[in-house]
Chains A and B, each alone.
Chain A
């Protein structure tokens, strides 16, 4: 294939950034999976289907480093603050779809606030 140039890098960046703004990410590294993230993922998938929700993309990601709070699920729905839910059991996962995604309400008692600065942006 042709050699990638700086323009190709820019194009990839643009297309990724232009992607779906509504998403749910499940931390699926060893730590998350050990805490039950696979079940959480399946429950989210199942409940999104049950609710007929097709515009939210369900993704996986690595580990945020908050092992005590796994499984972690980050939810970004346009118009609502982007939040990370902790200790997301299957029931909680379904509640996220029903309450947060469909009902547009943040769940009580499940958010994990994170405070860190990024070394560069």
Chain B
């Protein structure tokens, strides 16, 4: 009999104790069946499956069982370990799984080896198009695939290419937007660092389609490792004749260079990005004319995001039909999300469009790390909004998120629990936008500042109910009057938190209370005498010496000296410090 491996974990217990008990029982059963030498029993750290009791995966068959009870062991040994067959009623039926298309080779390939990328069918799509397809055919394929821009806008990639191809110009430019700046989003960085050639191939394919002779990677300078790896990949590709003049012996010639972004969020906006590459101050200009008509140095220019470009080669290789078979009616393919915040498993998740938020947060993300109550998930960064619990079963695609007052954005997904204050979150994002606003147009420059000012007041107990109307008014003005996407969407976090969590705003204003305990200026601390054990820990810990008393008479907090830092609340072992 061949050797087998059993990987197991008690996914409900949350500790290893349950696993240890089960491990012992299983081990004994293996000994009884004389399988102790041929079956490897291994406790794993994380099965990636949650709240399904004891879960085990048997290799090499790759059979996974969930909710296994000790009295199932006999059947598993008899049917699976001895004969390699599955025990049908124990099989784990996943509701869905991650689907890796963009991230497929990330973490598998050595990013510094072009050979490893080629061995994974890299640059095959490039070879295919230069040998067999006209640029028009490539554009038709992309349009038929239904691929939409992954940077946030969700515009059809095929159409963008078509317009750039059809625009008149002596020269055309292809730009890869790698100025990933949303707080909490780092999908593009991982792709650039983990599989740079996939993006370069996407750029070459795009360049071939639109007729570009020059490509630029616009990468933010905060990504030094990504820059290093992309540069190395460009050099390798040039060495192999995959970019430069006469790519793979064809008439198609294209150069690619890197341009660094100097850390301005607004430069992720197309026209500001173009200005930045031209060496000008990175501020947007009104559209139209769109960059596809008049872009870099006045020439037709196509700008695609990193993830969009990473999708291109697979589409060319496997066909538009294959790609459009994945996802929902209006949003095709997969989307990579950077799931962060209060979630147990923070990281990158790639799922087919149409997966529900609940599946992403609870099935893949493993739920809230602390076990506290889920409150909302924020998508789309500073241009997006929060989505509360009741909409968690919404299938994620461009249109559904927009209906909920958020956006797909580039893919940041921040999970929040009951300890997160929605007013504070809104304040965080608007402060970010105020700092990043280029200042060119008044609605964004002044509106953002006024919203920030009002939110500061609310979180410090100076808010009035009229402020809520004022917030909506300014938000609308910013949306309608701002020059670029930054200003037009900067108020989204305010509108969506007000829509779903107005109560929380009112609680701050009317009762001067922050339900999440986050807004420090509103917190009041006091010592509950009957719970206090008079240990004196809070007195010693208080950095402001606002706690006085002694072990005989007990302790009290001087409200005038207290700076609401919360150290006493955190150090008290007896929950004798009250925070309201």
Contact = CB atoms under 8 A, between A and B. Distances in A.
A binds B: yes
B109 A115 contact: no
A4 B345 contact: no
A75 B127 CA distance: 33
Nearest to B105: A62
Given A65-B348, A68-B346, A116-B100, A31 B46 contact: no
Given A3-B248, A62-B107, A63-B194, A16 B116 contact: yes
A16 B226 CA distance: 24
Nearest to B92: A115
Given A13-B119, A65-B349, A81 B5 contact: yes
A118 B347 CA distance: 18
Contacts of B249: 3
A65 B347 contact: yes
A59 B110 CA distance: 7
A23 to B, nearest CB: 10
Given A111-B7, A111-B45, A120-B322, A62 B193 contact: yes
A51 interface: no
A60 B193 CA distance: 11
B44 A112 contact: yes
Contacts of A111: 7, 42, 44-46
A109 B44 contact: yes
B518 interface: no
Interface in B474-509: none
Contact of B98 (A79, A80, A115): A115
B119 A116 contact: no
A69 interface: yes
A117 B97 contact: yes
Given A17-B119, A30-B193, A63-B348, A9 B100 contact: no
B241 interface: yes
Contacts of A15: 115
B123 A9 contact: yes
Contact of B40 (A9, A13, A60, A105): A105
B108 interface: yes
A114 B350 CA distance: 13
Contacts of B16: 109
Interface string B229-267: 000000000011110001011000000000000000000
Interface in B21-47: 40, 42-47
A86 B318 CA distance: 33
Nearest to B249: A3
A106 interface: yes
For the side of the interface on B, what is the size category? 35 or more
Given A27-B107, A111-B42, A115-B94, A68 B344 contact: yes
Contacts of A31: 186, 190
B118 interface: yes
Interface in A27-86: 27, 29-31, 33, 59-69, 72, 79-81, 86
Given A9-B127, A61-B194, A120 B45 contact: no
B115 A116 contact: no
Contacts of B121: 13
Contact of B124 (A9, A62, A79, A118): A9
A86 B47 CA distance: 11
A30 B194 contact: no
A115 B349 CA distance: 11
Contacts of B344: 68
Interface in A90-121: 105-120
Contact of B119 (A12, A29, A68, A109): A12
B225 interface: yes
Interface string B90-130: 00001001111101101111111001101101011001000
A86 B97 CA distance: 20
A61 B45 contact: no
A67 B346 contact: yes
A79 B46 CA distance: 23
A119 B334 contact: yes
B385 interface: no
Given A1-B241, A109-B45, A65 B103 contact: yes
Contacts of A115: 48-49, 94, 97-98
B189 interface: yes
Given A29-B194, A106-B5, A61 B242 contact: no
B326 A119 contact: yes
Contacts of A72: 107
B177 interface: no
Contact of B46 (A3, A27, A69, A118): A69
Interface in B248-296: 248-249
Contacts of B115: 12, 15-16
Nearest to B336: A65
Contact of B193 (A3, A59, A63, A79): A63
Nearest to B114: A12
Contact of A119 (B104, B107, B226, B345): B104
Interface string B44-80: 1111110000000101100000000000000000000
Contacts of B318: 120
B195 interface: yes
B118 A13 contact: yes
B100 A118 contact: yes
Interface string B189-205: 11001110000000000
A62 B195 contact: yes
Given A3-B248, A106-B40, A115-B94, 11 more contacts: A30-B223, A33-B225, A65-B350, A67-B348, A106-B5, A111-B42, A113-B9, A113-B47, A119-B99, A119-B334, A120-B318
Interface of A: 1, 3-4, 6, 9, 12-13, 15-17, 25, 27, 29-31, 33, 59-69, 72, 79-81, 86-87, 105-120
Q: Which 4 A-B pairs have the closest CB atoms?
A: A62-B194, A65-B348, A64-B107, A116-B98
25 contacts: A1-B241, A3-B241, A9-B127, A25-B110, A29-B193, A31-B186, A33-B225, A62-B193, A62-B194, A64-B108, A65-B103, A65-B350, A69-B46, A86-B46, A106-B5, A109-B44, A111-B46, A112-B46, A113-B47, A115-B49, A116-B98, A118-B99, A118-B101, A119-B100, A120-B314
